[in-house]
Structure formats: C-alpha cells, structure tokens
Amino acid sequence: MNSLNKIFIFTFILSISFASDLSSKNRKLVLSYNDEWIGMGAAYGPFRDGQAPWDGAPSIEELREDLHIISKSWKWIRLYGSRGISSDILNIIRNDSLGIKVMLGAWIAKEDGTIEASNDNKDEISNTIKLANEYPDVVNSINIGNETMVYWSDHKVDLDIMANYLNYTRKRVRVPVTTADDLGFWNKEESKKIAEQCDFIVVHIHPLWGGQSIEKSLDWVKEIYAQIKLMHPSKEIVIGETGWATMKHNEGLQHELIKGNPSEKNQKLYYDNFRKWAAENQIPHHFFEIFDEKWKGGDHPNEVEKHWGVYYSNRKPKQAMK
C-alpha cells in the first residue's frame, strides 16, 4: 500500500470518528473544571438603561465591567442569543482569562410560515454553531430556543421544527445541546419527543409566577424538579431560570398571579436558600438574573420583568449580593 493510500484511509477513519462523535447521544454536560464544580450559574442580560436588543448595545468597556463583576461570584453564565455582542462577550472571557463557561443561546423567534422568518432562525442557529466551534474553551453547551413550546408562549415553534433544529445543531458541534422551556411544557407527555433530541433538559421554575409565598417557595421548586426528573429519568435536569423579583406592578397578570412579596429581603432569602439546596444536591442552574433590565416588560417602571436582577441596572448590588 503506497503512502497516498495510507493517508486517504487514515483521513477517512478520522472523518468517521469525528462524525460519530458529533452525532453521539447524551453528551455529558461538563461542569467540573480544575476540580471545581461550577454548576451554580446565573443568567446574563447585558443591556443597560437606554439600551435594548433592537436599539443600542453595550460597549466593550461596559461588557468587560460586567464580566469582571460576574467572575467574582459565578463561573457559568447563560446567554440567550448568539448574534450581536455575544462574540464580544466570549472574546473578553477568553482574553481576560476570567474562567467563565457559557451556555450559548440561539434566540428562536415565532415562525409565521414565511421563508424570511425561517431563514432568520436558521441564521441565528448557524451563528451559534460558529461561535461554539470558535470558542471551545469558553462555550460548554448550547441552548436552542427559549420558552418556544409552552402553551402560553408568544413565539411558539412547532415541535417538529424544534426537533429538527436540535438535531441539525448536534451534528455540527461537540458540546451538548438542549432547549429551554417552562415547567408547563416539560411536565407534558409531548415534551418527550423534544427530550429525545436533547443531551440534557433546561427547565424554568419560578415560584413567584407559581403563586408561591417566600415561605413555601423552595419546597415548591423541589417538588417541580422531582416531577420533571420523573418525567425524564434518563436526562440531566438543569434549572435554567429561577429567581425572586424585587418589585412588581399592581396591574395585569403579574398582579393576578404573583402572590409572594417581591422585595430585596425576600430575594436574598430565596437566593441563599435555593443555592444552599442546589449546592448540597449538585443541581446545575442559572439563577435569574444578574442585572436588572429596564428594557423588558411594559412601560411602567414597576413592571416585574425589569426587577429580577441581584444587581440594579446601574451595577450596584442588591441585598442578595451584599
């Protein structure tokens, strides 16, 4: 056998091995680095006052300030989209040697049957794949879509479309891939079809939206977590969002559904109690969230979606971080 044939055979075997690795099922989510478990993470929205995903963006200096604040308390963060400043975030983490790992998100919008909507989602996924492969030292997982299948979602995506997106992504990256949704999806029988395409499951469990008081909040979260684990026994469960807001508006659904008292005192109590339970049981999570984001929700300044951070939007700490 001549040397050229040997090279061809070696290359062919290598390509088969690579393809097999990329299509393997249930790739493990690695959360241990340098003998440290980093599973106690947090969700990061980078937009400051006067900024929004569609209008203005944080500067490199602002992102660097955020990430240095974050690195003191968390070593795993969740991002919700891959375009725009996400590449800057990954680059700062690498260049500043912050040791932060990232669950990189692909924001999936509602598909209205038009080619434009479908292509936009595919572009988002393609960019997520590109960044994951460019930053293997930073990105440790990918999340395709956020609350796209729960019954109340305003950007619902068909289950078959989501399954195809997950399968497409898994064939093109080495990190584990998932999708994030509310407990109201993952506790349904239909969710098993999507779970089959996920390496692990990301579930949102918000005791405030569940009508819980601060006294009953953690027991309720434990119960929901156990239900999701029972529904999907072969999958690792990551709590992708849980938290306690510090303010709410006195109108609308938040007034009707939220029975607990949003306050800094209760946020600190929930933060401390939840993280103690998560640490003792090694339950991976992203606490929601690091900074207040005033662009979210309605126009009223007390709108609950603006007040989930454990830091104010001016980057000053609330009681939970003092």
Per-residue pLDDT of the chain (322 residues; tens, 9 = 90+): 444 343 333 333 333 344 444 555 679 999 999 999 999 999 999 999 999 999 999 999 999 999 999 999 999 999 999 999 999 999 999 999 999 999 999 999 998 888 998 999 999 999 999 999 999 999 999 999 999 999 999 999 999 999 999 999 999 999 999 999 999 999 999 999 999 999 999 999 999 999 999 999 999 999 999 999 999 999 999 999 999 999 999 999 999 999 999 999 999 999 999 999 999 999 999 999 999 999 999 999 999 999 999 999 999 999 999 9
| Residue 20, pLDDT score | 42
Q: Coil, helix or strand for 59? A: coil
Distances from the Cα of 130 to the Cα of 122, 142, 172, 198, angstroms: 12, 11, 9, 19
| Residue 22, pLDDT score | 53
| Residue 199, pLDDT score | 98
| Residue 132, pLDDT score | 98
pTM of the model: 0.92
* Contact between residue 73 and residue 46 where contact means Cβ atoms under 8 Å apart: no
| Residue 9, pLDDT score | 36
Strand bridging mode 76-78 / 40-43: parallel
- Write the DSSP assignment of 77-120 as a string of letters: EE-S-SSTTHHHHHHHHHHTT---EEEEEE------S-HHHHHH
* Contact between residue 316 and residue 66 where contact means Cβ atoms under 8 Å apart: no
| Residue 117, pLDDT score | 87
CATH class of 36-321: alpha beta
- Label residues 249-262 b or e (16+ Cβ within 10 Å = b): beeeebeeebebeb
* Contact between residue 165 and residue 145 where contact means Cβ atoms under 8 Å apart: yes
Report which residue type is found at 203: V
